[in-house]
A and B are shown apart, each in its own frame.
Chain A
């Protein structure tokens, strides 16, 4: 079964052969599309009229995007959703991971698994389920709210009338944020749990000897040690939040909801291309959003990154 020497792969060439699938696939389906979209962003083109109908229009697509009211609105929506779903994820995940780390031994894997489960489930299935849970008159979430509002003492905290989550513009974003929060908080819990495991136990022991309580230990030992992971987790949330597409797309029936209240920039550029057939403007918008993502990632880096060689 041995091949003649001339046909055998030499160790010098082997890595190139092994990497060729990556290089080819990346070139054809990664780099080329990227360059092409850069080119397209300076062209006026409708896919129905064939590739020959492309015309160079300079910065027109960018000018159009920057003067487009809906583009700005979508950016506002995206920022709103990224913040309202992203910030609480970390505010909840950090103490939660700390609780799980300190108080759970035997049940730990089960608990972590429960929190992680939404992350691996299909967005479509989740969004369909929540569309029914959030329905105004018969949805379980409103049924729950109604029950709460009838409780003595804390009842006044809850609205008396059923909430129209998915049709009333001012409610769409909170509803989407809740679902996104529910879906990704477990992922962050896992990240923070992994970071918590790397904090040496003797630091806590020394602190206990010195009379520091649980809260003090959390504030002065745990939080500072978690800083690099907070940086990493927040960066992931920023990048993910600005790309938000599937959840709002399905919850608003692919159109962005009434008054475009749930239309993120990713949804808008999809619609610009596939509903409105303007591929040039859509490409320009995707580059504008890309610049924003890069800029915000860099800023988060500046704000959170630990100084010194440990970074």
Chain B
């Protein structure tokens, strides 16, 4: 009896995992399939199961209904600016926490950890007010500056610096007369490359997907990032579903490509705080 259940168990496991994988991936398949069909085709019985030929037509509708390329450009611009700044500031912060002794170190690190626990809804209203006072409403910098020294990034960098850059190396460089910035720029940053890659990916994706941020600070449609622009196309009546699917697919495609190229690095980075 026991022999039998032990034989059956792996097959049952394969079955369950395979069905689950299908459930996870099918919605993506249909997103790309629907992106190539018109609204009437998507809403017919049975719905389309394979790619159609309305992609460029959908794209045309999309560019007529909203400044699509502009929105896409802002998304890209904000994601790149946010990634560059975050990498710089978090590498600096992580390096300071990992290899220096200084007053208030523990208090400051406690602050970093504390901000990681702060729920996002707490910031929604005051962030809007600050941006209003600063005159940053409708300014892309309102999206990439506030989060640039992210607590998560500093934490990730601190872990990596601590485990991979020996203190002696820094000391030796200091003895040789290298300046503090020189040490950071010429020794620490190059050694941090793998971790910077991971943090860069995470930051880029988070910024690309960011919805609450632009929802609160971007007021005019020409300044919308892609997610916000797509959302604004949705209306109770007459939603252009084909065009909307094309937009969603275009917003999703870069992520799928990035993910396929780097899923291991991404997954381990995103769960780094949890798994130690």
Contact = CB atoms under 8 A, between A and B. Distances in A.
A124 B9 contact: no
Contact of A191 (B2, B264, B274): B274
- Interface residues of A: mostly helix, strand, loop or mixed? helix
B45 A273 contact: no
B120 A243 contact: yes
B60 interface: no
Contacts of A207: none
A125 B228 CA distance: 10
Contacts of A109: 263-264
B25 interface: yes
Nearest to A9: B180
A186 B122 contact: no
B271 A129 contact: no
A124 B23 contact: no
A232 interface: yes
B172 interface: no
Interface in B1-54: 2, 5-6, 9-10, 13-14, 16-17, 20-21, 23-25, 27-28, 30-31, 34, 42-47
Nearest to A293: B119
B129 interface: yes
Interface in B189-211: 205, 208-209, 211
Nearest to A282: B125
A160 B179 CA distance: 75
Interface of B: 2, 5-6, 9-10, 13-14, 16-17, 20-21, 23-25, 27-28, 30-31, 34, 42-47, 88-89, 92-93, 95-97, 100, 102, 105, 108, 111-112, 115, 117-130, 132, 145-149, 154, 174, 177, 179-181, 184, 205, 208-209, 211-212, 216, 227-228, 230-231, 234-236, 241, 244-245, 248-249, 251-252, 255-256, 259-260, 263-264, 266-267, 270-271, 274-275
17 contacts: A9-B181, A11-B174, A19-B97, A26-B149, A28-B130, A29-B130, A37-B125, A99-B13, A103-B13, A114-B24, A123-B209, A128-B230, A132-B34, A138-B45, A190-B270, A213-B2, A265-B121
Interface of A: 2-3, 8-12, 14-19, 21-23, 25-26, 28-30, 32-34, 36-37, 40, 47, 96, 99-100, 102-104, 109, 111-126, 128-133, 135, 137-140, 143, 182, 186-187, 190-191, 194-195, 213-215, 229, 232, 236, 239, 242-243, 245-246, 250, 253-254, 265-266, 269-270, 273-274, 279, 282-283, 286, 289-290, 293
